[in-house]
Structure 1
């Protein structure tokens, strides 16, 4: 029997229209039996037999209890979800376009379609079905839960973590109905410390079920979670769900096509989390955008997927193999997953296709180039496309807040024309944090795509006052060794090192006569074609540098740099690089304190040209064929390593390694 509680009672029809006596055994539905049955559109009204139903557009119907017979809601009515509304096996709940269901708060407020039951959500782009909460707070209610009869690694008649729901069978073509143009808002109620509802929860739902055009917003747990099953889904918009936007476990092996994930609130878990046995589900055209950093794709245990058309923007970590599962289990655009790749690419899903959701949340993009002549603050909620060179002029300061993403548009101009330069007399403040670093990268994710960050100072250099740089013809150098060009903290630079000509290239970070008043700490420079960081004279000190797979030198200095670099970690896993350290020119005796350099490709560790030298304490070198290369037969006494003259043979393996985990903020691994 249908249990329906109304806050304003519906008025039953008094006419029978020659229907059989409801008390007669074996007779069909009547207009006086107190039920909505047959083709009635209300209780004992509407349809082909009963009188028209009264206008209830101003009334609120309460949804609660069990539905044991087919029922169609009325779009003109307002529905309040007052408890668990269960569609039992054999019954179908039909929700027409434009229907709005508003849930009270609580873990006992959700819609459940039991195994054998069906739901037909018949929204349209102009009149979607909306399921939301009265309080409009994330985690207010339990969302929509569907239990099916398809396979799951939990077996037949498994018991769900929520509500003791039974699900799972052996019918992979099972049909739990259809969903079209549905918005679910503010779901994810917390059951206990280990269990929460999601926006849309699919337990062993079969491929006979149709799910298309779904938006899930502002949930405290996952947007959609697949527990096994074979169901396919398409056109999903997932905005600011606090745990995972898309989650699967128990061997789901369907396909999700055209999904767009947006994170503009901090503290979320992932765009995708996969767990359990790998049944190789497919993601086709998956675009995820974050203005808050974070992790994009996380795979636990042996889980995996085949992903085509992946576009990730703004995440600190692209691929997190939480349990060291095989990367080959995740095929991304026909190759094994690569955690070192950002998978930054043009969006493969057009967010405009979800205009029907009417979300007010936006991610703004803005082109960045030209000159800055007054103090300027960037906005972490804007994604900046660097389309040419950006010059901070003398007297101006550029401030870049934590979490800002700057993408060099490698196809918009010649690579050597795309860079950021801070001129002599100007300043830059990069205010990244460990949880929200500032990221400067490129659209093509290819080494040498752009020119990186160039800073010009007023400190001393062997080239004298107002020297002219090899890049851009910029002026640098003076007499102020305590010159202050600003502050850099928690910054990642990737894919820089553009070639200017046969003799000159940009680096990741280029420091021309930068003074000791400048603060530089926690910088990662990855995948450049020239040097990671190069010091042209100056007195600047720096600390906390991670330099991975820069094709020329990881650390380079010339023109008498005499500052200190503390806690630097160099990693070479690609063949063909030049050195971990190259020094040239007059010996200003800079200091390296705690330097670890590791190569899986042999090569040269430290190279000194002419009369250059350094004082190095706590040196650890591993995997290099050549430890010390005195290219011009300069004196080994110029290089003091742990209190002694450098030796060609080394070995330098007795020092304490710099703890690579301190750079997890930059690499995610």
Structure 2
């Protein structure tokens, strides 16, 4: 952008020069109205006077020299005209330039001995060399002269060319009095300049914030100028913040001397970015070299005797291959903080020089080493020179050889392998995103690895997780995160991984490779070879001293996580749509994984869990796996095994797969040998909500209920529960349902017959509804028969004996404990139950199998069922305050010898086709109905007694039935008493209602 502004200024000055020249030539050819000159009687250029009137009043921006202007739109009452001054020639006295003046350079400007040239911030000098004069166009500070360049970050000094072509001019040359191997008063290759002496503290001035562009003019067939040429410049000279751009030769070259410099940016210099010879022995600190144009020579070339200069923090990056560092003859250097990326040749020793001449990070240079460390110089610091908005993206590649902390405000691009070396720690703060660049280095070579002895510290949070992803957003784009530790593995010590020759394994089971918290890894699983792929997170022999918590592995082409031996434990893992195995281990891993949730919604995956190799009995504590695509849940190969507690499996075709003849006893599930015939369809033991930080979904408003409740569980009334299939409360377990909870049967999920809630014999339910907030069990279809309602199996007596089998679900019920307690129910609404079991049977709204008197049931509404409202199968349970409306078979039904009491029951029939208000069947244990009011608007039968069944009824009120009392199968009327006397089959029993329907407003409103 700055270059374009300068070009515009040059056009402006040229226009001004044209006007001045034209004004001085009025008498050539005579005045005309189209000669582009204000002459004759004109008051403007070709207008006014004897010419056509000017089209506008004179202004300071009409591009006409008019009014009192002395130039086009300048001078007079307008702004001062821009001055242009040519600096060419000898500068023989102290001179300070003016940043308001545009300086040109048409030849050599030479600062003589004893003279200082001061160039303030914001000054621009533009080389304007005629064709063929480039060699003679440069700025030189002679030996004994000084230059003071006072640029700032916001207003650098700029030296450039008007043609904007590399090689336009000769750049800046400084000649000093320090030592050089060429001796005193050596002659430079251009201009016969003299340089060199004995004063190593020589001061040739200071340079701060200088940009030199398009230098490198040809001197002779063998030589060119550099951007900045330093001949024997001494240590008293200060040089800081210099950018050397687009030169045809070197960016900077040191010819001997002792000067040090810092903060150099060198971009696309066609020979060497940095060059030295003649024994330079200063220090260059923080140099960034960039090559994006092909054909350059090197990033660094060193020649001649070795003065052992120092390079402190040198980052060189090429997108065009080439050579990074070249050392000729006996030259050398001490280099620290070296980062090289993209070069084909890293170190090139010419002329037989010893590699020991070059010390890199304290040791001899290694010609086989890549030195691909992460950048040690931040290109952001040179935004003042590049004009780019740098810093929004930074490339990660190479070795991290010293502790490094990333910046969460920077969008990092991973280009190739980022390797955290032994002894170094990579810290990644909360909110950092690293995006693998799919095109930069190829998927197989693009991954992050923490080498054995290195550490990683991922500091994500629920609000700001660390994200590792890819720009292609396709499974298999990159290799994920690999950590190599020093713990034990069946592969022994210093095993070699299948990728990158990564070494892992040792004898320290407490090895610490760092910590990971709140990390998302997406789109990993790149192909390594025809047999292998990367995982999202790969843990080679990682030890128990490492902490790993809250990790999400998403959309991987291979495993989500794989443990290769080691002892590391981890917790709170979310694994979604990893195409091979969600969780995999081998080589004897024996840590613990706590709270893992696996989700498969894309077909073609392998397993939720694959275990292979020797069995060191790792532990999985709370594992929930859910598939909408079938597939295999758990697969164990060879002798592998595990101890698993809190297992919940849903939607898989194969639950357990033992390959290679491994014993099922190797796998312990909830304290027993694995059972290949068991479904392990327990209710989820890991809350999907807890991973909202990774999924980005608004979870928690809806949760699925299905499977076995194997541990005490309390629902949350703020969650809308969906019943998908059977929810079974196991023996010894209590399901607590607080006031205000709603459970909605999903009609489509598993089929009506399989969708119900059952409390198994020995289990308990605690429904804690209130008048203001009842518990509701309903269906999303809102049709009678949508689902199977609530079934409770108890241990009380029944005429079917002990351990009878119910007509659905192989539910076992009945025993000898008439005081059995299956829990408590208060303020419960059951709607749309009565699903078909078989051609002869349906579910009821509330089914009570051998439930004992220790169970308390009160305030229950049974609405719109396709079969009975409530049915008692034996047992001794009593209940009260029942409201039953439009149940299509019987509102109240009992059989198998029930002998409890039902108090305050109200039955309402407003739809035709029902069977009865009350049906009693089987042997007569004389249950009691205390206050029974039944109302029908559709006729029908009120009370029906089959076989020898009977009851003691008090407070009976019947209204609207065609048949009030019906005895089937020859049972004796004496089996039934109403208010203490034998029932009268001809009586109307039409007394006023004994139960006030208003008491059920909590259910009917």
Tell me the TM-score normalized by structure 1: 0.53
Cα distance in 2 between the residues matched to 1:62 and 1:405: 59
Q: Secondary structure at the match of 2:675?
A: coil
Cα distance in 2 between the residues matched to 1:213 and 1:367: 24
Alignment of 1:366-445 (within 5 A): 384-385=724-725, 407-411=755-759
Cα distance in 1 between the residues matched to 2:654 and 2:669: 15
The reply to whether residue 124 of structure 1 matches residue 464 of structure 2 is no
Q: Structure 1 residues 302, 167: CA separation in 2 closer, same or farther (over 3 Å shift)?
A: same
Q: Structure 1 residues 278, 71: CA separation in 2 closer, same or farther (over 3 Å shift)?
A: same
Name the structure 2 match of 1:82. Answer: 415
- Report the Cα offset of residue 452 of structure 1: 8.8
Q: Of the candidates 620, 629, 640, which is equivalent to residue 292 of structure 1? A: 629
Name the structure 2 match of 1:236. Answer: 573
Cα distance in 2 between the residues matched to 1:153 and 1:384: 43
Contact 1:68–1:88 (8 Å) recurs in 2: yes
Contact 2:835–2:843 (8 Å) recurs in 1: no
The reply to whether residue 258 of structure 1 matches residue 595 of structure 2 is yes
Contact 1:16–1:31 (8 Å) recurs in 2: no
Runs of 4+ in 1 over 6 A off after TM superposition: 20-34, 54-57, 361-364, 401-405, 449-452
The reply to whether residue 313 of structure 1 matches residue 650 of structure 2 is yes
Name the structure 2 match of 1:341. Answer: 678
Alignment RMSD (CA, Å):
4.6
Cα distance in 2 between the residues matched to 1:119 and 1:149: 14
- Report the Cα offset of residue 402 of structure 1: 9.8
Q: Structure 1 residues 237, 211: CA separation in 2 closer, same or farther (over 3 Å shift)?
A: same
The reply to whether residue 357 of structure 1 matches residue 690 of structure 2 is no
Name the structure 2 match of 1:138. Answer: 475
Name the structure 2 match of 1:485. Answer: none
Q: Of the candidates 65, 72, 81, which is equivalent to residue 398 of structure 2? A: 65
Q: Structure 1 residues 268, 451: CA separation in 2 closer, same or farther (over 3 Å shift)?
A: farther
Name the structure 2 match of 1:550. Answer: none
Higher mean Cα deviation, 222-231 or 306-315? Answer: 306-315
Cα distance in 2 between the residues matched to 1:405 and 1:209: 49
Q: Structure 1 residues 168, 387: CA separation in 2 closer, same or farther (over 3 Å shift)?
A: closer
Q: Structure 1 residues 233, 454: CA separation in 2 closer, same or farther (over 3 Å shift)?
A: same
Name the structure 1 match of 2:837. Answer: 454
Q: Structure 1 residues 58, 445: CA separation in 2 closer, same or farther (over 3 Å shift)?
A: farther
Q: Secondary structure at the match of 1:178?
A: strand
Q: Structure 1 residues 21, 472: CA separation in 2 closer, same or farther (over 3 Å shift)?
A: closer
- Report the Cα offset of residue 282 of structure 1: 0.8
Cα distance in 2 between the residues matched to 1:403 and 1:315: 17
Cα distance in 2 between the residues matched to 1:355 and 1:74: 24
Q: Structure 1 residues 42, 30: CA separation in 2 closer, same or farther (over 3 Å shift)?
A: closer
Name the structure 1 match of 2:433. Answer: 100
Q: Structure 1 residues 404, 277: CA separation in 2 closer, same or farther (over 3 Å shift)?
A: farther
Q: Which runs of 5+ in 1 are unaligned?
A: 1-10, 47-53, 369-381, 389-397, 421-425, 429-441, 457-468, 474-498, 503-669
Q: Of the candidates 534, 539, 550, which is equivalent to residue 202 of structure 1? A: 539
Name the structure 2 match of 1:628. Answer: none
Name the structure 2 match of 1:192. Answer: 529
Higher relative contact order (CA 8 A, sep 6+): 1
- Report the Cα offset of residue 332 of structure 1: 1.1
Contact 2:535–2:560 (8 Å) recurs in 1: yes
- Report the Cα offset of residue 13 of structure 1: 8.0
Q: Secondary structure at the match of 1:191?
A: coil
Q: Of the candidates 274, 291, 315, which is equivalent to residue 611 of structure 2? A: 274
Contact 2:455–2:514 (8 Å) recurs in 1: yes
- Report the Cα offset of residue 408 of structure 1: 3.3
Contact 1:261–1:288 (8 Å) recurs in 2: yes
Cα distance in 2 between the residues matched to 1:330 and 1:282: 10
Q: Structure 1 residues 71, 242: CA separation in 2 closer, same or farther (over 3 Å shift)?
A: same
Q: Structure 1 residues 401, 126: CA separation in 2 closer, same or farther (over 3 Å shift)?
A: closer
Q: Structure 1 residues 128, 454: CA separation in 2 closer, same or farther (over 3 Å shift)?
A: same
Alignment of 1:589-628 (within 5 A): none
Q: Of the candidates 660, 664, 668, which is equivalent to residue 331 of structure 1? A: 668
- Report the Cα offset of residue 334 of structure 1: 1.0
Q: Structure 1 residues 349, 360: CA separation in 2 closer, same or farther (over 3 Å shift)?
A: same
Cα distance in 2 between the residues matched to 1:139 and 1:246: 17
Q: Secondary structure at the match of 2:837?
A: strand
Contact 1:210–1:233 (8 Å) recurs in 2: yes
- Report the Cα offset of residue 58 of structure 1: 5.4
Q: Structure 1 residues 118, 470: CA separation in 2 closer, same or farther (over 3 Å shift)?
A: closer
Q: Structure 1 residues 400, 352: CA separation in 2 closer, same or farther (over 3 Å shift)?
A: closer
- Report the Cα offset of residue 113 of structure 1: 1.0
- Report the Cα offset of residue 276 of structure 1: 0.3
Cα distance in 2 between the residues matched to 1:115 and 1:184: 21
Name the structure 1 match of 2:222. Answer: none
Cα distance in 2 between the residues matched to 1:358 and 1:325: 36
Q: Secondary structure at the match of 1:75?
A: coil
Q: Secondary structure at the match of 2:402?
A: coil
Cα distance in 1 between the residues matched to 2:652 and 2:401: 46
Q: Deviation string for 1:405-440 (max 9, x for gaps)?
A: 9553214999xxx999xxxxx999xxxxxxxxxxxx
Tell me the TM-score normalized by structure 2: 0.36
Cα distance in 2 between the residues matched to 1:35 and 1:160: 28
Q: Secondary structure at the match of 2:532?
A: coil
Cα distance in 1 between the residues matched to 2:643 and 2:541: 20
Alignment of 1:220-231 (within 5 A): 220-231=557-568
The reply to whether residue 160 of structure 1 matches residue 497 of structure 2 is yes
Q: Structure 1 residues 274, 55: CA separation in 2 closer, same or farther (over 3 Å shift)?
A: farther
- Report the Cα offset of residue 117 of structure 1: 1.3
Q: Deviation string for 1:568-612 (max 9, x for gaps)?
A: xxxxxxxxxxxxxxxxxxxxxxxxxxxxxxxxxxxxxxxxxxxxx
Q: Deviation string for 1:199-252 (max 9, x for gaps)?
A: 000011111111111111011110000000111111111111111111000000
- Report the Cα offset of residue 361 of structure 1: 9.6
Cα distance in 2 between the residues matched to 1:148 and 1:472: 58
Cα distance in 1 between the residues matched to 2:552 and 2:753: 26
Q: Which runs of 5+ in 2 are unaligned?
A: 1-210, 212-238, 242-260, 264-281, 286-306, 316-334, 340-373, 380-386, 707-721, 729-745, 767-776, 780-784, 788-805, 814-832, 845-870, 875-1005
- Report the Cα offset of residue 360 of structure 1: 4.2
- Report the Cα offset of residue 386 of structure 1: 5.6
Name the structure 1 match of 2:741. Answer: none
Work out the number of aligned pairs and report it. 406
Q: Secondary structure at the match of 2:566?
A: coil
Cα distance in 2 between the residues matched to 1:13 and 1:445: 83
- Report the Cα offset of residue 192 of structure 1: 2.5
Cα distance in 1 between the residues matched to 2:661 and 2:687: 33
Q: Secondary structure at the match of 2:527?
A: coil
Name the structure 2 match of 1:182. Answer: 519
- Report the Cα offset of residue 256 of structure 1: 0.8
Q: Structure 1 residues 366, 72: CA separation in 2 closer, same or farther (over 3 Å shift)?
A: closer
- Report the Cα offset of residue 270 of structure 1: 1.1
Q: Structure 1 residues 90, 302: CA separation in 2 closer, same or farther (over 3 Å shift)?
A: same
Bigger radius of gyration, 1 or 2? 2
Q: Structure 1 residues 192, 45: CA separation in 2 closer, same or farther (over 3 Å shift)?
A: closer
Cα distance in 2 between the residues matched to 1:56 and 1:70: 27
Q: Secondary structure at the match of 1:328?
A: helix
Name the structure 2 match of 1:624. Answer: none
